[in-house]
Amino acid sequence: MNPTWLEPQMQQLRAAFAAGRMPHALLIHEAPGTGGEWLAQWTAQLVLCSAAARAPCGQCSACQHASQWQHPDLLRLTPIENSTQIRIEQVRELAADLALTAHQGGYKVGIICPADDMNRFAANALLKTLEEPPRSTLLVLVASVPSRLPATILSRCQRLRVAAPPREAAVAWLEAVRGPGDWAGVLGVLGDAPWLAAAADPAALLATAAEMRADLEQLSAGAGDPTQCAERWAREQLPLRLACFENWLTERIRTRLLGPDATAEVRRSAHSRAAGPAIRETFELLDAVRELRSSFDVPLNRSVALETLLRRLAPRRAA
C-alpha cells in the first residue's frame, strides 16, 4: 500500500518526468520516519521503468529490480558497518559509477540516505558531480536535517518537502502493512513517524513506554533513584527511551505548564526569556535531551549523561 500522504510529491515527480523536467539532483527533506527513502526508491522506479507512459508500472523487470535495490543502474549510499557517517570513498565510488554508461541505456540513479550523515569530505566530493552531472543521471538525497549539508550542495538540488502525516493516515497505513494493533499508541510514543513504527514490536514498545512514563513521573515527584534509572536506561533500548523522554517533556510543556489549548504563539513566548522559570527549565531540559539523542556518534558515558538530565527533573526544595 502506497503511503497516502506522499501522493502530492509522487504526482509532482510524475508530472516533471512526463514533461521532461526531471531535475538532475533532488533533495527530499523528510520529517524523521515519514518515508523519505521509500519516496527516493519510488522515484528511481519512475525513471528506470520500461513502461514510460505509465511509470512506475511496478510490474516490469526494471521496477521489480529497483524495488529490491538490485537494478544495475541504481546505486545506494548509506553508512557502512558500524559507522554513523557516509565517507568520501563511498561518494567517490558513486561518482565513478554514475559517469559510466547506463546498462539499460536510460537513467542512472544514485540515492544517498541519510544525506545529512555525509561527513565534510564526502559532501565536498559530491559537489563536483552536482556541478557537472553526467547526462541522464539523477541524484536523490534524503535528509531530515538539511542544514547539516553545505549550502553549495543545497543550492544545486531541487527540494521536495515531506511533512509528518496526519495521525489517521499513518494508522491506516500501518494497519494495512502490519495488521491490527495499537498503532495510535505506538505513534504517540514515537511521534508521527510511521516508518519507525512499522519496524517496532507494538506490545514491547508500549510496555517500555509505560515503564518510562512511570519512571519520569516518579522522578519529577522527587521519588525514585536517578542513578539506577540512568544505568537501566543506558543498558537497553536507549534511543527509544530518549524518544519517550522527549515526547514526555513535550507533553508536559503543552498540557501541564501551558494548558491543553495553548497556541503556537503562546508556546513560542514561553520559550522566551520572559517566561516563568519552570517553563524555561523544561524547555532547556528538552533541548538537552535532543542534544543527547543526536550524539550517538560521540564517545561519552551515556549513563552519567542521563543521570545528569534525570536529576534536573527533581522538584526544587525551598531554602
Q: For the chain, what are the domain ranges?
A: 4-163, 201-311
Instruction: Give the per-residue pLDDT at 299.
Output: 59
pLDDT digits 0-9 by tens, 257-295: 555 554 444 444 544 443 456 778 888 998 898 888 776
- In this model, does residue 83 exceed pLDDT 90? no
Q: Which residues are CB-contacts of 102 (< 8 A; sequence separation ≥ 6)?
A: 73, 108, 136
pLDDT digits 0-9 by tens, 157-173: 999 999 999 999 999 99
- In this model, does residue 19 exceed pLDDT 90? yes
Total residue count of the chain as it appears in this document:
319
Contact 47, 109 (CB under 8 A): yes
Residue recorded with cell 500501518: 174
pLDDT digits 0-9 by tens, 115-139: 999 999 999 999 989 999 998 999 9
Q: What is the CATH number of domain 4-163?
A: 3.40.50.300
Q: What is the pTM of this model?
A: 0.82
Determine the Cα–Cα distance for residues 268 and 263; give it in Å rounded to an integer.
9
| Helix (H) or strand (E) segment spanning residue 27 | strand 25-30
Contact 189, 248 (CB under 8 A): no
Instruction: Give the per-residue pLDDT at 317.
Output: 54
Helix (H, G, I), strand (E, B) or coil at 293: helix
